[in-house]
Amino acid sequence: MDHSLLDQLAEVSRLPVAPGTVRAVVDLCGEEGLSEIELCMVLGRDPGMSLWMMCQANSGMFCKCQSVSTIEEAVACIGARAAKIVSLSMVPASGGFVAGGVRGMVAEVWARALLRERVAREIAELMGERGVWPEARMATYGVDCALLAMSVADPERANGVWQEEQGGGGCGSMEGLSAGLMDRWGVGEMVCEAVRAGDSMEESDQGFGVVGRIVRGAEVVVRHTMRRGAWRCSERAGSRLEQITGLDRGVLGGLIRGSGAAYEQDLRAWLGSEEDAVRASAVETLARLSIAIHAEHHKVVHQRDELLHRVTLDRLTGVFNRGAFDDRLLEEMERARRGGEPLALLMCDLDEFKQVNDRHGHQAGDHVLKRVADEIVEAARRIDVVARYGGEEFMVIAPRCDYSGAAFLAERLRAAVAGMELAWRGASLWTTMSIGGAVCTWPGAVLQPEQLIAAADRRLYDAKRHGRNCVRIEGPDRVRAWAG
C-alpha cells in the first residue's frame, strides 16, 4: 500500500456526489416532519454522499461513543438537519460537480457502485442476512472510496488508474487503499474487512465474514456484467458466485437480470439532473437552513439565559440566591488565593424586620426587601456580588477588599439603607441594617467558605448586641486564628 498516497486521500475536503442525489436532498428539505429513515434512503443512494456522511460522523465534531459504520448510524449521530447541511455543502461552488478530466471516469465509478449496491442487497436477502445489510451497503461503496477521493485529490492520477483497470491489467497500486482509507475514517472493522474482500485481487475467499462474502459476490457480478455489457451470468461467474455465497446458480442468474434492470432505471434518475439548477437550489436551501439554525440558536440562548436567571436569582429581590452565593463565594475565594489578594464577606441583616410584617403585612415586608436589595446593589461596587442569604439576610462578597476597605464599604451600605424613605399604602416605613464582616488575605489564609461565613456571622451577632444599625468587621489575623 502506498502510505503517502493514503495520507493525501485522507485529507480530501469532499467526495464527488451525483446531482440527482443533491436534488433529492433539496426536495426533502422542503418537507415537514421528515423522518431520519426517509433521509437515509436518499443519502444511501449515493456512494460519495454516504461515505462522506460517515466520515464526518467519525471526525470527532459530533459526540459519539463508538465508530459509525452505516449511513443510518451517521444520520442518527449528527442529526437530520446537520446531515442535510453536510450533504448540500458537498456541492462545488462553481464548475461541474466533477472535474472535467475525470467526469466520465467518476460516472462509471458511480454506476458500478450503484450496481454493486443493488446486487449486494439481493444477495443479502437471498442469504437470509438482511440484518447486516446496512454494513454491507457501506462496504459496497467503500470498495471505490479511494478512487472517488483520488478524483478530487489528483484527477490526472485517478484517470490513469481507471484506464489501467479498464484495460484489464488490474490495479495493484490501489489494492488495500480503500480499506486503509475507511480505517482512517474510523469505520468499524466489519466494514473494513468487507471492503478488503471486495477490493482484494486474490481468488481465495478464506477469512472473510458474511458481510465480506456479500460484497465479494457483488463485485464478481459488477466486474462480469460491466465488461460484457450483458445481464447474463456466465458459467465462470456463476460458479464463483455459488462458491462465495452458497446460493444456487439459477437463483443468481435471476438476481443479476433483476438487479440490472433496476440499476439502469435508478442510474438515469441518479445522474439525470441539470447541474447549474441543482447548485442554485442547493445554495438557496443551505441559506434557508442556516437562517433557521441561527434563529433556533438565538431562541435556545434566550431560553438558556432565562433558565439561568431562574436558577441563580432570587425571585423576589432579583439578586443572587443562596445556591448561587455558595458557588460564587467558592469561586471568589479561589480567585483571591491565586492572585494573593484580600477578600471580604459582609453579612447584612435587617433590624427588627418582623415588626414590619406584623404591623403592615407580608406584602409590605416583601416591598421593603426588594427596595433594600436595590439599595445594596446601588451602594456596592460593580465587582461586588450581592445575594439574598435567607429571610431578611443579605450577603456581599467584596473581592480585592482589605480591612479598611471592608469597613468603609459596610458603613456605606448601612447608611444607604438607614437613609431610605419607604412607604406602603400611605404608611411610612423605616428600617435599619446591622452588618458583620470578615476579611481574609493570602498568602497565609487556609480557609473554607463556611469558616469565612461563620466569622462574618459572629461579627453580625456582635453588631446586634451593641444596639443594631452598626458595623463590626473581623480582621484577617483574627479570622485566621479563629479558623485555626
Do the beta carbons of residue 28 and residue 128 sit within 8 Å? no
CB distance 19 to 273 below 8 Å: yes
Same domain membership, residue 276 and residue 138: yes
Strand-pairing partners, residue 218, are none
Spatial neighbors of 414 by CB under 8 A, at least 6 apart, are 432, 433, 434, 435, 469, 470, 471
454: buried, middle or exposed (CB in 10 Å: 19+, 13-18, 0-12)? middle
Q: Regarding predicted confidence, which is higher, 444 or 136?
A: 136
C-alpha triplet 34, 35, 38: angle, nearest 5°? 95
The pLDDT assigned to 279 comes to 74
Lowest mean pLDDT among 192-196, 343-347, 408-412: 192-196
d(CA 285, CA 85): 9
pLDDT at 263: 59
Shared domain for 326 and 275, answered yes or no, is no
Lowest mean pLDDT among 105-119, 257-271, 286-300, 312-326: 257-271
Question: Hey, how many other C-beta atoms are within 10 angstroms of the C-beta on 183?
Answer: 18
Cell of 369: 426587601
Q: Say what the pLDDT of residue 201 is.
A: 46
Q: Please report which confidence band the pLDDT of residue 253 belongs to, taking 50, 70 and 90 as the band edges.
A: low
Q: Is residue 332 part of a domain?
A: yes
Structural domain total, the chain: 2
The reported pLDDT for the residue numbered 96 is: 60
Structure confidence at residue 97 as a pLDDT band (50, 70, 90): low
Claim to verify: residue 226 and residue 355 sit in the same structural domain: no
Residues 430 and 328 placed together within one structural domain of the fold: yes
Residue 191 is predicted with a pLDDT of 86
**Domain assignment present for 305:** no
Please report, rounded to a whole number, the percentage of residues in the chain having pLDDT higher than 70: 82
Average pLDDT over residues 27-50: 79
Q: Which of 283, 310, 344 is the last residue of a domain?
A: 283
Q: What is the pLDDT of residue 297?
A: 79
% of the chain beyond a pLDDT of 90 = 27
Looking at residues 192-216, what average pLDDT do you find?
Answer: 72
Of 64-68, 87-91, 280-284, 333-337, least confident by mean pLDDT is 64-68
Count Cβ atoms within 10 A of the Cβ of residue 480 and give its class: 0-12 exposed, 13-18 middle, 19 or more buried.
middle
Looking at 264, 283, 302, the residue that finishes a domain is 283
- 24 located within any domain: yes
Q: Please check whether residues 395 and 337 belong to one and the same domain.
A: yes
- For 261-274, what is the mean pLDDT? 61
Q: What is the CATH number of the domain that holds 431?
A: 3.30.70.270
Question: What range defines the domain where residue 120 resides?
Answer: 3-283
- 105 and 178 co-located in one domain: yes
In a domain, 300, yes or no: no
Is residue 200 a contact partner of residue 175, using CB atoms and an 8 Å limit? Answer: yes
What pLDDT does 335 receive?
93
The mean-pLDDT minimum among 141-155, 209-223, 257-271 falls in 257-271
In a domain, 397, yes or no: yes
pLDDT of residue 33: 61
Beta strands across the sheet bearing 343-350:
385-390, 393-399, 343-350, 433-440, 471-474
Judge if 274 and 422 occupy the same domain: no
CATH number at residue 171: 1.10.3210.10
Query: Quick check: is 288 in a domain?
Result: no
If pLDDT is split at 50, 70 and 90, which confidence band does 272 have?
low
**Do both 96 and 225 map to the same domain?**
yes
State mean pLDDT over 229-252: 69
| Domain-embedded: residue 295 | no
On the question of pLDDT at 228 being above 50, the answer is: no
User: Pick the residue with more confidence: 62 or 285?
Assistant: 285
Give me the pLDDT at residue 32, please.
65
- Decide if pLDDT at 237 tops 50: yes
Q: What is the pLDDT of residue 384?
A: 96
Asked if residue 201 is part of any domain, the answer here is yes
Q: What is the mean pLDDT of the chain?
A: 82
Q: What is the mean pLDDT of residues 351-375?
A: 93
Range with top average pLDDT, 230-234, 247-251, 265-269: 247-251
Among 256, 283, 310, where does a domain finish? 283
Residues 279 and 410 in one domain: no
Q: What is the pLDDT of residue 351?
A: 94
Q: Length of the chain in residues, anyone?
A: 484
Helices 80-88 & 71-78 angle (0-180, nearest 10): 110
What is the rounded distance in angstroms from the CA atom of residue 406 to the CA atom of residue 404? 5
User: Is the model's pLDDT at 423 over the cut of 80?
Assistant: yes
State how far the Cα of 1 lies from the Cα of 173, in Å rounded to an integer: 7
Q: What is the pLDDT of residue 178?
A: 87
pLDDT range class, residue 234, cuts 50, 70, 90 = low
Considering the domain architecture, whether residues 103 and 177 belong to the same structural domain is answered as yes
Greater pLDDT, 483 or 186: 186
Please indicate, yes or no, whether residues 187 and 95 belong to a single structural domain of this protein.
yes
Cell of 38: 426517509
387 and 326 in one domain?
Answer: yes
